[in-house]
Chain A
Amino acid sequence: MARIIVVTSGKGGVGKTTTSAAIAMGLAKKGHKTAVIDFDVGLRNLDLIMGCERRVVYDFINVINGEATLNQALIRDKNCNLLYILPASQTRDKDALSQEGVGKILEDLSKDFKYIVCDSPAGIERGAHLAMYFADDAFVVTNPEVSSVRDSDRMLGILSSKSRRAERNQEPIKEYLLLSRYSSERVKLGEMLSVDDVQEILSLHLLGVIPESKSVLNASNSGMPVILDEKSDAGQAYADIVARYLGEDKPHRFIDDKKGFFGKLFNRSK
């Protein structure tokens, strides 16, 4: 059985697709067969970030409607042969997603894959709901600013009450916090919420902090998940996150907040 991870946030533009691409690549690079699914039907981006937009023939909706098989729609990544992408449809909207259809696809993928990463659209409507409904783990991507934190909190409420696990009274979805676009300089200037501030509001297990970085935009534009840029701070941050998710003990980096709780607790390696 595969482990289903949803990458979600509520708010748009915080780095969900960047994160989905990076962690899917990271998991595959660690030797786990991984599929990443774009749930943002109508606004598909994941294929661009993954650099496979020219190879899209069939999409998620085609498979749901039975117009193509999963194997026809899955695109093998050019950098890693354990990673597959299921792109969203650009010509349809989220109403084309059905719970049964999504459930069937995830069940079929589960037989063959170790991890399934669901890239959620922004908002809390149908697309976002179906992306998280079947999840086992949730990566909540948050920017260090109040509206993003508030939306994440809302999303956490939905995760704990509207998921399949919640409906079946199973063990709840495991929730992890990913703080992205973090700038320790701006935190020091008081322009940005610190890790502690966000943790105080969300009280969630912190999986990692991704620093604000030019390498993210460069990676997106060139269609290479940023985790492949091993020299970049953001790439390293994602590598740490994948390692921590898989149970490795990695000290937190990129926080650089002397007064902070984590600064005291962990020896920063840089």
Chain B
Amino acid sequence: MSTDSQKSPFNSSVLEFKSSTFSVPVLILSSNDLKLIDEQLQAKIKLAPEFFKNSPVVLDLLELNKQNIEIDIEMLVGLIQNSKLLLVGFRGGTPQQNTKILDLGIPVYSASSNIGSNETQKQKTLHTHQTQETAKENHPIETTATLITQPIRSGQRIYAAGDLIVLAQVSAGAEIMAEGNIHVYSVMRGRALAGVQGNHEARIFCSDLQAELVSIAGTYKISEDLDESVRNKPVQVYLQNDNLIIKDIL
């Protein structure tokens, strides 16, 4: 959902649209008391001023709307801007709120999952989960691993918020995704996407690579691009300088 114009190596075109996912802190509000929000936000920022300076942030209104609490959108936007955070979007708003937000020129994201941002990507947003937890305002990410012991069959999709560990085969036509690392201790024939929320440090490990597609934080290789030397054996997949590296685990 964002542009990546600087890296386009093509002569014919000076721009290119690419899909990409970023990890952005989400601020979940559970009160409409702007004074209280401001106080607590400033307190948080004081804890790590460098981290929050110019950091992109998405505001989540879902909790408020679940409890039918109205909030003044314009005042809220002003408050965030004064705190030196860069507001890059809202989610979880009501249709009326969304109209108001769009009128202000701020993007609206769907409430459920992927939050993209076309703001300059800050290195700090790509830190480990611990750093993100402090940014997430008492809503730490659950980083526990998901364990799957049954075969993942064609047509099945598995999504893990943390790491994903699979002790059985992943069939062709199946799709496994994790915000963290993926481990498959069997044949990996389907599609494996690690770091789907933008974690460039995520890796894929499998004991027999026959995948249709492997991807780390949006950088992917399809089966046809896999070198014969890495097929049908235990390998790891990781990102190095934005290149997808596939090699022996040891």
Contacts and interface: CB of A to CB of B under 8 A. Distances in A.
Contacts of A156: 151, 153
B171 A153 contact: yes
Interface in B133-160: 150-156
B151 A154 contact: no
A172 B151 CA distance: 13
Contacts of A153: 153-155, 171-173
- Determine chain A's interface SS by DSSP, over half rule: helix
A201 interface: yes
Interface residues of B, number: 15
Interface string A145-183: 000001001101110110000000000100000000000
Contact of B171 (A158, A161, A172, A201): A201
Contacts of B171: 153, 157, 201
Interface in B167-204: 168-169, 171-174, 187, 189
Interface string A191-209: 0000000001101000000
A257 B77 CA distance: 72
A150 B156 contact: no
Contact of B154 (A154, A161, A172): A154
Contact of A160 (B153, B172, B187, B189): B153
B169 A157 contact: no
Contacts of B174: 157
A172 B57 CA distance: 44
Interface in B7-42: none
Contacts of A161: 156
A11 B189 CA distance: 21
A154 B150 contact: no
Contacts of B173: 150, 153-154
22 contacts: A150-B172, A150-B173, A153-B153, A153-B154, A153-B155, A153-B172, A153-B173, A154-B154, A154-B155, A156-B151, A157-B152, A157-B153, A157-B155, A157-B156, A157-B171, A158-B153, A158-B155, A160-B150, A161-B156, A172-B150, A201-B171, A203-B168
Interface of A: 150, 153-154, 156-158, 160-161, 172, 200-201, 203
Given A150-B154, A154-B155, A160-B150, 17 more contacts: A150-B173, A153-B153, A153-B154, A153-B155, A153-B171, A153-B172, A154-B154, A156-B151, A157-B152, A157-B153, A157-B154, A157-B155, A157-B156, A160-B153, A161-B156, A172-B150, A201-B172
